[in-house]
C-alpha cells in the first residue's frame, strides 16, 4: 500500500497490531459552508487502525484481521455514507466528514473489541480521504466506546 507510514501512538501494551484497509464510498457534507463538498462525490478511503493489548486469544491473535475488515471495509465499501444510520444529515457531529467517519470506525471497532475476552483496545484510527488529506482519531484516555 502506498501510504504505509502512519503516526505512531505511545502506549505500554505488549502487542500492537495495525490493519490497513481501503473502501470506495460516496458522501456529501450537508452544510452550505462545505462548498463543493455539498455535492455528492466519491473517495477511495485508506484506513489504518491500531489495536493493542497484553493478552492474546485462544487462536494466538490479539484480534482477527478479518473481523476488522468486516467491521469497516465491508460495511462502507460501495455505499453512500449518508445512507448509514450512524450518520445524520441534521447534526454536524454526525455528518460523514473524514473526522466523523474516523470516529465512527473507532466506535465500531472498540464495540467489537469490548466483546473479546482478551480485551484489546483501539488506540488510533488513521483515515485518508484524498492523496493530500487525512484525519487521525484517538479516543480520550480511559474513555470507553459509546454503544
Ligand atoms: Zn468528500
53-66 pLDDT tens trace = 999 999 999 999 99
Do residues 113 and 121 make contact, with C-beta atoms less than 8 angstroms apart?
A: yes
Mean pLDDT of 34-43: 96
For 54, other C-beta atoms within 10 Å of its C-beta total: 12
147 band by pLDDT with thresholds 50, 70 and 90: very low
* Predicted structure pTM score: 0.92
7 band by pLDDT with thresholds 50, 70 and 90: confident
- The CA 6 to ligand 1 mean position distance, Å, reads 21
- The CA 27 to ligand 1 mean position distance, Å, reads 6
Q: How far apart are CA 49 and CA 69, in angstroms?
A: 10
Query: What positions carry a catalytic annotation?
Result: 37, 78, 129
pLDDT of residue 104: 98
**What is the length of the chain?**
147
Cell matching residue 76? 462502507
- The CA 94 to ligand 1 mean position distance, Å, reads 14
pLDDT of residue 1: 53
Is 50 or 4 the better-scoring residue by pLDDT?
Answer: 50
Do residues 20 and 47 make contact, with C-beta atoms less than 8 angstroms apart?
A: yes
pLDDT of residue 144: 53
25 band by pLDDT with thresholds 50, 70 and 90: very high
- The CA 21 to ligand 1 mean position distance, Å, reads 18
Amino acid at each position: 500500500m502506498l501510504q504505509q507510514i502512519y503516526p505512531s501512538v505511545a502506549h505500554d501494551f505488549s502487542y500492537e497490531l495495525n490493519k490497513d484497509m481501503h473502501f470506495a464510498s460516496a458522501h456529501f457534507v450537508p452544510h452550505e459552508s462545505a462548498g463543493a463538498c455539498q455535492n455528492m462525490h466519491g473517495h477511495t478511503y485508506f484506513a489504518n487502525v491500531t489495536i493493542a493489548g497484553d493478552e492474546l486469544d485462544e487462536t494466538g491473535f490479539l484480534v482477527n484481521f478479518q473481523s476488522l475488515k468486516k467491521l469497516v471495509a465491508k460495511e462502507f465499501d460501495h455505499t453512500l455514507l449518508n445512507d448509514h444510520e450512524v450518520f445524520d444529515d441534521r447534526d454536524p457531529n454526525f455528518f460523514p466528514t473524514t473526522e466523523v467517519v474516523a470516529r465512527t470506525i473507532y466506535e465500531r471497532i472498540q464495540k467489537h473489541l469490548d466483546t473479546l475476552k482478551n480485551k484489546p483496545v483501539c488506540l488510533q484510527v488513521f483515515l485518508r480521504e484524498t492523496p493530500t488529506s487525512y484525519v487521525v482519531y484517538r479516543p480520550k484516555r480511559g474513555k470507553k466506546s459509546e454503544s
